[in-house]
């Protein structure tokens, strides 16, 4: 055949035309023809029809002007013009396409590649890719050693091969949307997106599915036969559930026929007729399985049996119960509500019916019915700027913590508190806070309720300030006046005698107004001078009259007068403050210590306060245990408003000075490895050490106040130390009362006696993570989580304390936490007969270490230094079993003794599939 002067055989021409048709149909993009397609069209038509034709210029009387002619001829996919009959047969009503669409045309192009070769079988319309073959169609990504595409059926077949050693090369793998599937063979229809796979391995959420044969009917739906599913990610899983047939809907649920478990390939003869496994993320309603427990005092029990119900996106609740064979039971009702970007909260109501075997011999059982109510509520600060409401309520019977059998830390918690607060700010200046508070002591069974508590704060007003600030303000423009108003009411009663009349009898209220006046003078050299005036006013709702009762040998309240009473106080002050800096750097050229920096901040304040509260004090005479027989009684000054809401003002005139001295130390060191500026490091060795006190020139006795010392430091960036002490500079008598004589005025020199003090030392050590990337990933996950409320944090911490072995971190080989606390105080006795010293001291420790790569041992303890005995001691053992974990928790020393062993999967969707054994002993 001769085309445009080019001789070519008919067979070759036919092959080229079919090749062009194949590429045009398979990769249907008429606007972007390949060079091969364009070349074939030139051969077939004698011209390049892929390029637009430009009409010749039309001659007119003027210059030749090009005329753009519109080609209205409809052409096929190769650009060949169609006659009218052909166009009418291919044209569909309402179709805006200008060309016919082939039946086998795909919705998108197919991208393919291979590292070895691409073989095209044009007569059969097949393409085969070899070695590291990969195809992409829409959101489906298929890779294998060999991929064959049959265009006539739109079917892709992927397979692997084995090398001479029998190793698999190029196992077929398909990724579509969130699904990943690996199989020996994948047969997939691109157009219908259906397929069949053999020996398939896929993942859905936390579930790993293995199936002999799997059929994909939609993007997310699968049918499988002879399948197993597990949460173990090994090729040969440690445990699995085996079934003959199964339907899987990705990230929703899996439904199976008869199913049974197997461990290490060994089937367990426990069959259930069908299985339903939810795979969706988020919250779902359902039953909460219990765990078995046993106690010699409470009997055999089931703990945690209940139901979780999701009402809607904003509300859900949990109902749990504990049931014991001796008749004891507990009910826990916990609703949780949330509205994103607005508020969130949780309530928890517990009713506890205790029935324990008694060892007293009087009664067979010890019975009690107690309750506990918790409420936590937080508001997003962005929901209503300037307005905030929060609640943290914890109310319980005084013996509720005492009868908690499975919480050793709660048995020692004798202080409970609650707070509810609402605040409103106007224009960023005026602030109103309305709150209510509650506190109770489970040992004394005393309850305090403060409701309501109202606080209003007005900003400091500068009456002499210029409305238009120009340059530096004058000294008198910094004259400011503020206002703070507080109103509070409350009652104090014992729970055993609590009734409405008793609460009303003990209810009292009070109010306080404070007007601070300050003037910040400009700096004069290194000294800051600040004068100030403060006026305070208080309202009281009652007067107390107290008298010593010789019969009972104590001070009793003999009368209460209710009404509205006032008290006033005013003070004038002038304070001076400064800062002195000093450095020492002469440590030698070879020393790693470059310098020590010392900052001294002295403060002196001159103040005067007249005696405006003297009329609210009276004399109280009590016996005096003294070696001097001529003095058998002691007279003390007591206020009528003692024990009031805001307390009485101090008696006496004060005219003197208040002083203080603070010191700060830091060092600069150079690294021995890095001699550049980056190797220089500043470290604070003492955050603050100093003292404060005052001297009253106008007092007739005890002019020098007790001196308060304090110390704060963080050594080696890891050891936190805080301490403080109060030095009494006076001598004391045999009962502990101060004499008007300085301690250093006697024959023996002494600075005084320490009347109170505290010391706290804490530190923590841990090794570096074995896997830094894993540790950083876990840290990032924790930061991305929604912040917990205080009540949720407390509940979480309680669970961790009870089950430390379940939270073992094998990535940290070892860790150690130590804390020491010492507190002592010498305070006056309630009957005013003298002073008593109270000392508390304790050592807390917790830590763990990896015994092996799979075993971890941990311990927590509390040692009472005063009584020289261990109060609590718990031991935990953890075993990492890959997809399972074993935890052993035991309380060896404490109010309750307990033992717990749990074996459970790590996966969250199988968290209720566990083997648990718990036994505890209650010490009455």
Q: Which residues pair with 577 in a beta bridge?
A: 528, 603
Residue 707 contacts residue 693 (beta carbons within 8 Å): yes
Tokens of 699: 């007092």
Residue 690 CA to residue 707 CA, distance in Å, equals: 10
How much is the pLDDT for 370? 92
Q: Give 478's pLDDT tier (boundaries 50, 70, 90).
A: confident
- pLDDT digits over 406-457, tens only? 666 676 677 888 999 999 998 878 899 999 998 988 888 888 888 889 999 9
- pLDDT digits over 737-792, tens only? 888 888 888 777 788 889 999 999 999 998 888 877 777 776 665 555 555 555 55
Q: Residue 292: which residues within 8 A CB-CB, separation 6 or more? A: 300, 301, 302, 916, 917, 918
Tokens of 420: 């509810």
Tokens of 830: 């309630």
Q: Residue 268: which residues within 8 A CB-CB, separation 6 or more? A: 260, 261, 262
Q: Which residues pair with 318 in a beta bridge?
A: 308, 334
Q: Residue 265: which residues within 8 A CB-CB, separation 6 or more? A: 236
- By DSSP bridging, strand 161-162 and strand 168-169 are antiparallel
How much is the pLDDT for 758? 95
Overall average pLDDT of the 185-207 stretch:
85
Residue 755 CA to residue 739 CA, distance in Å, equals: 14
How much is the pLDDT for 35? 44
Residue 616 CA to residue 176 CA, distance in Å, equals: 84
Terminal alpha carbon distance of the chain: 112
Q: Lowest mean pLDDT: which of 158-162, 231-235, 630-634, 635-639?
A: 630-634
- Work out the number of other CB atoms within 10 angstroms of the CB of residue 351: 14
- Work out the number of other CB atoms within 10 angstroms of the CB of residue 33: 22
Overall average pLDDT of the 623-646 stretch:
75
Candidate ranges 10-24, 340-354, 575-589; pick with highest mean pLDDT? 340-354
pLDDT at 86 over 50: no
Q: Determine the Cα angle at 708 with ends 705 and 709, to 5°.
A: 150
Residue 849 contacts residue 856 (beta carbons within 8 Å): yes
Overall average pLDDT of the 455-476 stretch:
81
Residue 230 CA to residue 902 CA, distance in Å, equals: 20
Overall average pLDDT of the 65-87 stretch:
44
Residue 736 CA to residue 740 CA, distance in Å, equals: 13
Nearest to 275 by CA among 302, 240, 304: 240
- pLDDT digits over 543-590, tens only? 999 888 888 878 888 888 989 999 999 999 999 888 899 988 878 777
- pLDDT, mean over the chain: 81
DSSP 163-178: -TT--EES--EEEETT
Residue 109 CA to residue 26 CA, distance in Å, equals: 8
Q: Residue 473: which residues within 8 A CB-CB, separation 6 or more? A: 465, 466
pLDDT at 674 over 80: no
Residue 628 CA to residue 202 CA, distance in Å, equals: 94
pLDDT at 16 over 60: no
Say which residue, 301 or 32, is predicted with more confidence: 301
- pLDDT digits over 246-260, tens only? 888 877 788 888 998
Overall average pLDDT of the 521-543 stretch:
84
751-765 burial code (b ≥16 CB/10 A, e <16): ebbebbbbbebebee
Instruction: Report percent pLDDT > 90 for the chain.
Output: 28
Residue listed under structure tokens 């904003």:
314
Chain centroid to Cα 605, Å, comes to: 44
Angstrom CA distances, 318 to 95, 113, 330, 331, 798, stand at: 58, 54, 14, 11, 18
Nearest to 915 by CA among 305, 292, 229: 292
Residue 873 contacts residue 896 (beta carbons within 8 Å): no
DSSP 331-396: EEEEEEEEETTTEEEEEEEEEEEEEEE-SSSS-SEEEEEEEEEEEEEEE-TTTSTTEEEEEEEEEE
Q: Where are the beta strands (DSSP E) in 753-911?
A: 753-766, 814-828, 835-850, 855-864, 869-881, 884-893, 896-905
Residue 387 CA to residue 422 CA, distance in Å, equals: 8
Residue listed under structure tokens 């035991």:
890
Peptide bond into 452 cis (omega under 30): yes
């Amino acid at each position: 055949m001769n085309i445009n002067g080019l001789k070519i055989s008919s067979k070759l021409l036919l092959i080229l035309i079919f090749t062009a048709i194949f590429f045009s149909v398979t990769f249907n993009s008429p606007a972007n023809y390949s060079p091969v397609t364009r070349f074939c069209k030139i051969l077939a038509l004698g011209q390049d029809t892929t390029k637009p034709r430009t009409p010749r210029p039309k001659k007119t009387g003027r210059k030749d002007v090009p005329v753009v002619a519109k080609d209205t001829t409809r052409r096929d996919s190769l650009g060949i013009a169609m006659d009218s009959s052909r166009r009418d047969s291919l044209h569909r009503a309402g179709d805006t396409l200008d060309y016919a669409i082939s039946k086998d045309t795909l919705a998108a192009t197919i991208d393919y590649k291979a590292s070895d070769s691409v073989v095209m079988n044009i007569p059969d319309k097949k393409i085969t890719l070899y070695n590291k073959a990969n195809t992409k169609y829409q959101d489906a990504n298929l890779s294998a050693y060999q991929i064959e595409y049959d265009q006539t059926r739109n079917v892709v077949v992927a397979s692997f091969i084995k090398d001479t050693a029998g190793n698999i090369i190029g196992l077929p793998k398909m990724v579509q949307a969130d699904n990943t599937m690996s199989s020996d063979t994948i047969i997939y229809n691109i157009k219908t997106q259906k397929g069949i796979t053999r020996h398939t391995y896929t993942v859905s959420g936390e579930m790993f599915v293995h199936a002999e044969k799997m059929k994909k009917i939609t993007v997310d739906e699968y049918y499988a036969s002879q399948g197993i599913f597990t949460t173990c990610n090994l090729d040969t899983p440690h445990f699995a559930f085996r079934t003959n047939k199964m339907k899987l809907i990705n990230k929703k649920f899996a439904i199976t026929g008869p199913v049974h478990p197997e461990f290490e390939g060994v089937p367990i003869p426990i069959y259930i007729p069908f299985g339903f496994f939810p795979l969706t993320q988020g919250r779902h309603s359902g039953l909460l399985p219990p765990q078995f427990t046993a106690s010699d005092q409470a009997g055999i029990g089931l703990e945690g049996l209940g139901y979780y119900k999701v009402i809607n996106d904003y509300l859900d609740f949990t109902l749990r119960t504990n049931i014991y064979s001796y008749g004891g039971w507990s009910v826990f009702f916990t609703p949780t509500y949330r509205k994103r970007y607005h508020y969130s909260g949780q309530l928890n109501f517990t009713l506890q019916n205790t029935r324990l075997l008694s060892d007293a011999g009087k009664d067979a059982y010890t019975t009690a019915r107690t309750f506990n109510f918790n409420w936590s509520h937080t508001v997003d600060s962005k929901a209503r700027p300037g307005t905030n409401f929060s609640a943290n309520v914890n109310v319980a019977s005084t013996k509720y913590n005492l009868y908690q059998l499975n919480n050793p830390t709660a048995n020692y918690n004798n202080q409970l508190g609650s707070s509810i607060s609402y605040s409103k700010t106007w224009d960023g200046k005026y602030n109103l806070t309305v709150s209510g508070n509650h506190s109770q002591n489970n040992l004394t069974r005393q309850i305090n309720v403060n409701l309501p508590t109202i606080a209003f704060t007005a900003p400091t007003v500068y009456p002499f300030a210029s409305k238009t600030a120009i340059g530096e303000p004058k000294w008198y423009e910094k004259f400011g006046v503020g206002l703070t108003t507080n109103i509070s009411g409350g009652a104090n009663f014992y729970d055993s005698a609590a009734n409405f009349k008793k609460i009303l009898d003990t209810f009292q209220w009070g109010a306080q107004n404070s007007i601070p006046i300050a003037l910040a003078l400009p700096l004069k050299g290194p000294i800051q001078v600040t004068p100030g005036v403060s006026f305070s006013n208080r309202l009281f709702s009652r007067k107390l009259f107290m008298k010593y009762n010789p019969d009972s040998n104590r001070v009793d309240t003999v009368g209460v007068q209710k009404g509205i009473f006032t008290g006033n106080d005013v003070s004038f002050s002038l304070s001076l403050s400064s800062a002195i800096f000093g450095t020492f750097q002469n440590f030698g050229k070879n020393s790693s210590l470059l310098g020590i920096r010392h900052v001294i901040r002295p403060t002196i304040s001159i103040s005067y306060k007249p005696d405006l509260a003297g009329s609210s004090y009276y004399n109280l005479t009590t016996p005096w245990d003294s070696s001097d027989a001529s003095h058998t009684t002691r007279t003390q000054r007591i206020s009528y408003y003692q024990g009031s809401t805001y307390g009485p003002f101090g008696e006496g005139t004060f005219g003197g000075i208040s002083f203080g001295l603070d010191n700060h130390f830091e060092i600069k060191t150079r690294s021995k490895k890095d001699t550049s500026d980056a190797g220089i490091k500043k470290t604070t060795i003492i955050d603050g050490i100093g003292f404060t006190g005052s001297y009253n020139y106008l007092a007739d006795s005890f002019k020098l106040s007790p001196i308060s010392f304090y110390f704060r430091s963080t050594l080696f960036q890891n050891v936190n130390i805080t301490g403080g002490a109060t030095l009494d500079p006076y001598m004391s008598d045999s009962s502990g009362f101060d004499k008007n004589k300085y301690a250093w005025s006697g024959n023996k020199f002494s600075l005084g006696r320490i009347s109170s003090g505290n010391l706290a030392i804490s530190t923590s050590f841990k090794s570096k993570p074995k896997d830094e990337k894993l540790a950083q990933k876990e840290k990032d996950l924790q930061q991305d989580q929604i912040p917990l409320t205080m009540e949720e944090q407390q509940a979480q911490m309680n669970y961790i304390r009870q089950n430390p072995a379940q939270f073992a971190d094998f990535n940290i080989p070892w860790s150690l936490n130590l804390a020491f606390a010492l507190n002592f105080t010498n305070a006056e006795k309630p009957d005013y007969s003298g002073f008593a010293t109270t000392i508390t001291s304790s050592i807390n420790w917790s830590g763990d270490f990896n015994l092996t790569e799979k075993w971890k041992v941990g311990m927590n303890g509390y040692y009472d230094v005063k009584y020289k005995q261990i109060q609590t001691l718990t031991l935990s053992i953890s075993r990492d079993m890959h997809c399972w974990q074993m935890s052993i928790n035991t309380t060896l020393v404490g109010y309750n003794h307990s033992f717990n062993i749990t074996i459970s999967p790590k996966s969250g969707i199988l968290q209720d599939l566990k083997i648990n054994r718990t036994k505890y002993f209650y010490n009455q």
